[in-house]
Structure 1
Amino acid sequence: MPSPSQLRNGGGEGQQGLPPLARGSPPLPNYQNQRHNHHQHFHSTVSVQRLRRVNALTLLLRLAAFCFCFASAVFMFADNARSPGSPSWLDYDPFRFVLAANAIVALYSFAEMGASIWEVLKGSTLLPEPLQLWFDFGHDQVFAYLLLSAEAAGTGEAVGLRKGKDSCSSGKAFCVQADISIALGFVGFVFLALSALFSGFRVGCYLLTGSRFPL
Structure 2
Amino acid sequence: MLRNGGVESPSPRPRIHQTHPHDTPVFQSTVSQRNLRRFNYTILIFRLTSFCFSLSAAVFMFTINTTAASGSPRWYNFGAFRFIVAANAIVAFYSLFEIVASAWEIYRGFTLFPECSQVWFDFGHDQVFAYLLLSAGSAGTELVRQLREVATCTDNNAFCIQSDIALALGYACFLSLLISSLLSGFRVVCFIIKGSRFLL
Q: TM-score, normalised by structure 1?
A: 0.78
2:15 corresponding residue in structure 1: none
1:193 is displaced (CA, Å) by 0.6
AA at the equivalent of 2:87: A
For residue 179 of structure 1, the aligned residue among 156, 161, 164 is: 164
AA at the equivalent of 1:181: A
Give the SS at the match of 1:126.
coil
Give the SS at the match of 1:127.
coil
Give the SS at the match of 2:197.
coil
**Aligned mates of 2:110, 2:174 — CA distance in 1:** 27
**Count of aligned positions:** 172
**Aligned mates of 1:84, 1:104 — CA distance in 2:** 29
**Aligned mates of 1:193, 1:128 — CA distance in 2:** 24
1:152 corresponding residue in structure 2: 138
**Aligned mates of 1:65, 1:157 — CA distance in 2:** 24
1:46 is displaced (CA, Å) by 1.2
AA at the equivalent of 2:43: T
**Aligned mates of 1:213, 1:44 — CA distance in 2:** 11
1:48 corresponding residue in structure 2: 33
For residue 77 of structure 2, the aligned residue among 87, 91, 95 is: 91
Q: Which runs of 5+ in 2 are unaligned?
A: 1-27
1:73 corresponding residue in structure 2: 58
State the identity as a percent.
55
Deviating more after overlay: 76-85 vs 187-196? 76-85
Q: Deviations over 1:72-117 (max 9, x none)?
A: 0000011116332012101111011001100100110000000000
Are the aligned partners of 2:126 and 2:180 in contact in 1 as well (CA < 8 Å)? yes
**Aligned mates of 2:86, 2:199 — CA distance in 1:** 37
**Aligned mates of 1:112, 1:65 — CA distance in 2:** 10
What is the RMSD computed on CA atoms of the aligned residues? Answer: 1.1
**Aligned mates of 2:104, 2:152 — CA distance in 1:** 48
1:149 is displaced (CA, Å) by 0.1
**Aligned mates of 1:196, 1:98 — CA distance in 2:** 20
Are the aligned partners of 2:51 and 2:91 in contact in 1 as well (CA < 8 Å)? yes
1:123 is displaced (CA, Å) by 1.4
2:121 corresponding residue in structure 1: 135
1:103 corresponding residue in structure 2: 89
Larger radius of gyration: 1
